[in-house]
Structure 1
Amino acid sequence: MTDQKDRAATPTAPETAPARPFVAVRPLGERRTWPKSFADRLTDPLPGARALARVIREVAVRPPAETLGEVGSLPVAPGPVPDASATTVSVTWAGHASWVIRIGGLTVLTDPVWSRRIPATPARVTPVGVPWGELPPVDAVVISHNHYDHLDAPTLRRLPRDTALFVPAGLGEWCRRRAFTTVTELDWWEAAELSGVRFDCVPAHHWSRRSLTDACRTLWGGWVLSDRYGRRVYFAGDTGYGPFFDRIGRAHPGIDLALLPIGAYSPRRMLSPVHTDPEEAVRAFLDVGAAAMAPMHWGTFLLSGEPPLEPITRLRAAWRAAGLRRDALWDLPVGGSKVLAP
């Protein structure tokens, strides 16, 4: 591994490495050897059995029953995906962490979950914002990590097997076993390019697991997508708050839009290391220096203890308290779209 990768192999690397890290550009579809575990990237220990049992006893992993009526007020407004060209950048929120990004003439899906149910989670409470049959041809997919609400095998099975997949380190074999032929695995601070669009993998505070025995066997991260004109969309994936947001902003100055998670944050004693709350999402937006923010990871699956509408209510209040321009907050409904100004 390079010196940069060695520095990134410790939990403190995103906070202590130089502000403008060296970024290695890797070839598409490269097969690589990775460590057996990425547990050294954790910022906090994973919750043990006793902590999980306490949360379950307190029934704190689902919203209070008296707030479930808010589900009917969650914003849903399906609309067509904007037309795209080589000069167009647009985003459409399909729900949760799933976006349709059109950039540099490509159509890119992030963490695509079109299933109604995912394992160990109640069914989605809002419909998918874009019916699968109404999607334009998909050129690429980026995955932030392997949790079931971000890596959905039934959805990926709908894609042609030559669709380009960009995944964090160690996740390539899972994709290749499902016959995908162009799978690019990247470590933090590595990049690859497809048809003039650059895909940079950047740090996140999270973890990975798909079974009882594979915790942290694959990496987790966010992505910065850049077109040939220098326009940038930052997809944070699933993450807790940390100083690495500032480092991402310094490494990628002039981010036009940050797609940031705001939900699944209660109870804080358990979820703070891995999920930003709305106030932390505003801090992250300021840290990365983006021109606009679009919230995600709320209003789709009820994954934790906060009431369904609380994330967006708290986000708007924190936005006002920070004195930020209202038109820079793209709080889209599920199915809503926005086109970046040329």
Structure 2
Amino acid sequence: MTQQSEPATGAPAENARVPAAPSPGAPFPPLAEPRPLAERRVWPRTFHDRLTAPLPGLKATARFAREGAIRPGPEGLADIPRLPFAPGPPPRVDTRTVAVTWAGHASWVVRVGGLTVLTDPVWSRRIIGTPARVTPVGVPWDELPPVDAVVISHNHYDHLDAPTLRRLPRDTPVFVPAGLGRWFRRRKFTRVTELDWWEAARLEGVRFDFVPAHHWSKRSLTDTCRTLWGGWVLTDPDGQRVYFAGDTGYGHWFARIGRRYPGIDLALLPIGAYDPRWWLSDVHCDPEEAVRACQDLGARRMAPMHWGTFVLSAEPVLEPLTRVRAAWRRAGLPREDLWDLPVGASRTLD
């Protein structure tokens, strides 16, 4: 496991050097004070020291190319017509009600604290390097409420989609990982807040905390790990919490996030793009790991994502859903707390 470094500016990264996991009762530092919105900051040239596993080398890349296991076979694709799809507009809720609508992949419409927040919005039919989406977007763009904020987990094309973001007013508040602000400012966004791990900002009473993930970043041939990656914890004024994991493998961060942010009401966790495991296990959870992550977080409910939208890997298209349901059942967790939504469907927190 690669050692972690402290952030360049602001609050130091919690447990930055990744020592042995602390005992369950060990105290955590208090939550960071929110940083100013749209603050201009200086970041390191690279975030390679935040990797929790080495990136694939030439030997692994050659094996991957030789085996060619990048898409399911005909049998694995045969279930595309059966992928769950129930399009509809997000529900109307009051300022004290939390609701989520799955638009597909890692794109959610989160209603929290009276705000409408988009996560990793991808409304495009196709992204670079992969076939067109196999399930349409679950929420037509013109049926969205006014967007109050956007959170981005990292810069991979299936999470950071320039054509979708061009649809937004340029004064939309955007919360992004350290180093990614420049990408947005070049596109004339004026309210861009960059955060390091364990840092936070506040917008109209809702707290946005950026937390670690087991992943990486890259958008071109020369920018590997030049920007950070992570997930987001959104907390409303009543203390209700939604955790959006972004893209991540399984590992120690989940337990630490859960202890730092107790009482997570809903965890939006990725369950797809995991096969072959020897290639993807460091950066993508499989369904069983996602259920373990939910338990590590201490989250009350889990909503699976990152499956059934784009065909990014070799598992059959419906397998993530069947496996996460089975893992949830084996864990003895209440069935009603697994929000395995069709694309386009919504749920509201009690």
Q: Same fold (TM over 0.5)?
A: yes
Q: Deviations over 1:267-312 (max 9, x none)?
A: 1111111000000000000000111000000000000110100101
How does 1:1-342 map onto structure 2 within 5 Å? 1=8, 5=12, 9-10=16-17, 12=18, 15=21, 20-24=28-32, 25-341=34-350
Amino acid of the structure 2 residue aligned with 1:111: D
The answer (yes or no) to whether the contact 1:9–1:40 under 8 Å persists in 2 is no
Call closer, same or farther: CA 1:185–1:118 in 2, change over 3 Å. Answer: same
Amino acid of the structure 1 residue aligned with 2:187: R
The answer (yes or no) to whether the contact 1:293–1:329 under 8 Å persists in 2 is yes
The answer (yes or no) to whether the contact 1:8–1:188 under 8 Å persists in 2 is no
5+ long unaligned stretches in structure 2: 1-7
Distance 1:14 1:230 in 2: 30
Distance 1:103 1:325 in 2: 24
The answer (yes or no) to whether the contact 1:21–1:189 under 8 Å persists in 2 is no
Distance 1:94 1:229 in 2: 26
Distance 2:260 2:13 in 1: 18
Amino acid of the structure 2 residue aligned with 1:21: P
Distance 2:202 2:56 in 1: 37
Call closer, same or farther: CA 1:214–1:293 in 2, change over 3 Å. Answer: same
Distance 2:201 2:248 in 1: 22
The answer (yes or no) to whether the contact 2:271–2:305 under 8 Å persists in 1 is yes
Moved more, 82-91 or 157-166: 82-91
Distance 2:284 2:209 in 1: 21
Distance 1:41 1:166 in 2: 19
Amino acid of the structure 1 residue aligned with 2:285: T
Distance 1:255 1:295 in 2: 15
Runs of 4+ in 1 over 3 A off after TM superposition: 1-4, 6-10, 13-19
Distance 2:307 2:186 in 1: 31
Q: Secondary structure of 1:5's match?
A: coil
Using the TM superposition, give the Cα deviation of residue 59 of structure 1 relative to its aligned residue in structure 2, in angstroms. Answer: 1.9
The answer (yes or no) to whether the contact 2:14–2:29 under 8 Å persists in 1 is no
Distance 1:103 1:44 in 2: 34
Call closer, same or farther: CA 1:152–1:3 in 2, change over 3 Å. Answer: closer
Percent of residue pairs bearing the same amino acid type: 71
Partner of 2:4: none
Call closer, same or farther: CA 1:223–1:159 in 2, change over 3 Å. Answer: same
Q: Deviations over 1:217-263 (max 9, x none)?
A: 00000000000000000000000011110111111111100000000
5+ long unaligned stretches in structure 1: none
Distance 1:9 1:247 in 2: 12
Using the TM superposition, give the Cα deviation of residue 9 of structure 1 relative to its aligned residue in structure 2, in angstroms. Answer: 4.9
Q: Secondary structure of 2:12's match?
A: helix
Using the TM superposition, give the Cα deviation of residue 173 of structure 1 relative to its aligned residue in structure 2, in angstroms. Answer: 0.5
Q: Secondary structure of 2:79's match?
A: helix
Give the aligned CA root-mean-square deviation in angstroms. Answer: 1.6
Call closer, same or farther: CA 1:138–1:15 in 2, change over 3 Å. Answer: farther
Equivalent pairs counted in the alignment come to: 340
The answer (yes or no) to whether the contact 1:231–1:255 under 8 Å persists in 2 is yes
The answer (yes or no) to whether the contact 2:273–2:312 under 8 Å persists in 1 is yes
Amino acid of the structure 1 residue aligned with 2:180: L
Using the TM superposition, give the Cα deviation of residue 52 of structure 1 relative to its aligned residue in structure 2, in angstroms. Answer: 2.0
The answer (yes or no) to whether the contact 2:9–2:41 under 8 Å persists in 1 is no
Q: Secondary structure of 2:116's match?
A: strand
Using the TM superposition, give the Cα deviation of residue 22 of structure 1 relative to its aligned residue in structure 2, in angstroms. Answer: 3.8
Using the TM superposition, give the Cα deviation of residue 34 of structure 1 relative to its aligned residue in structure 2, in angstroms. Answer: 0.3
